[in-house]
Amino acid sequence: MFENLAVVGATGAVGRIVLEQIHARQLPIKNLKLLASSRSAGTRIKFGDCLKTVELLRPESFDDVDLVIASTPDEVSAEFAPWATARGAVVVDESGFWRMDAKVPLVIPEVNPAAIQQHQGIIASPNCSTTQMVLALAPFHRAARVRRVVVSTYQATSGAGLAGSAELEQMTNAALDKRTDAVPRVFQHDIAFNLIPQIGSEKYEGYTSEEMKMVEETRKILGDATIQVCPTCVRVPVMIGHSESILVETEQPLSLTEARQLLSQADGITVIDELSQSRYPTPVNCVGSDQVLVGRIRKDLSSPNGIAFWCVSDNLRKGAATNAVQIAELLLTQTQVTA
């Protein structure tokens, strides 16, 4: 029975939304513990109508914990997750460290909820750019089997954490004031009024680590290693909300009507698609929403089996915090059913 929950990384941008979601979705837990590094230990954070004090993250922190939701850098997760699992807790982890481990399920609840049954103490939540894309690809894969995906992402600065958002504000203010003293530290170049076609380090034959996450994670979540993915990931001067231009080719052709219907009926997706009325998703539309918003749905002019579309999602919510809390809900539901 999961009664005692710990949130690791509670003071970060995603961690704070995790707390909001736990309260808003009324997860059936009895005790909540907030954990973070020594830099943040002692901080007091509002949870519902009370203030919770953040405790220091250490092995003993998990002695009385059943379930963990964590949003930390990879190296922190690599260290603490074994502490928690050794004490019997199940960890829902948002870092990239465990995602491609063969023993760790990689889960989007609307897509592959049954995968959590295979966990051995750790369940991974996907990368934010992968999550929104795969949520939109899943109905096509179930209906007609996805063969190839070409995707370009336009990713918000908050994907790099609080420091990324702060740097966008700093560099934008400097540009507007015509100052030249501001120096980029989080991103490779000045992000103000600019696009940067690099997210992460070079990983494989000219592709970045962010791009290869989209390749590998998509295959794992959909359970099909033959799906071909060609990604280009771009950082854009938007604070919140990742956008993606996606071209998907399926084994069996889908009509435009079928494609629209599949997306409209899929859990977690809202279709906004009236080009003649200039109605389609933008990052501004998605802020604060747990839905993936899809529009500009059209047939591929170059392939009879292709569908093109545009999607946006709040990268801090469905791309991160909400997906992890939904995984925790699945665990709690399964426990209640089997109890």
Measured in whole angstroms, the distance separating CA 62 from the mean position of its chain's CA atoms is 25
Q: Are 229 and 249 in contact (CB under 8 A)?
A: no
Judge whether 235 and 187 are in contact, CB under 8 Å: yes
Catalytic residue, chosen from 119, 233, 242, 311, is 242
Catalytic entry in 128, 233, 286, 311: 128
Contacts for 67 with CB less than 8 Å, ≥ 6 apart: 2, 4, 5, 6, 29, 89, 90, 92, 328, 331, 332
Count Cβ neighbours within 10 Å for each residue of 106-136 and write b for 16 or more, e otherwise. bbbbbbbbebbeebebbbbbbbbbbbbbbbb
Active site residue 286: no
- Residue 305: left if φ>0, alpha if ψ -120 to 50, beta else—which one? alpha
Strands (E), the chain: 4-8, 31-36, 44-47, 50-53, 55-56, 67-70, 90-93, 122-124, 146-155, 202-204, 207-208, 228-235, 242-250, 269-271, 292-299, 306-313
Structure tokens, 163: 């420091």
Strand partners of residue 248: 149, 307
Cα 142 to Cα 122: distance, rounded to the nearest angstrom: 27
Tokens of 105: 């399920």
Is-catalytic flag, 242?
Answer: yes
What is the set of active-site residues? 128, 242
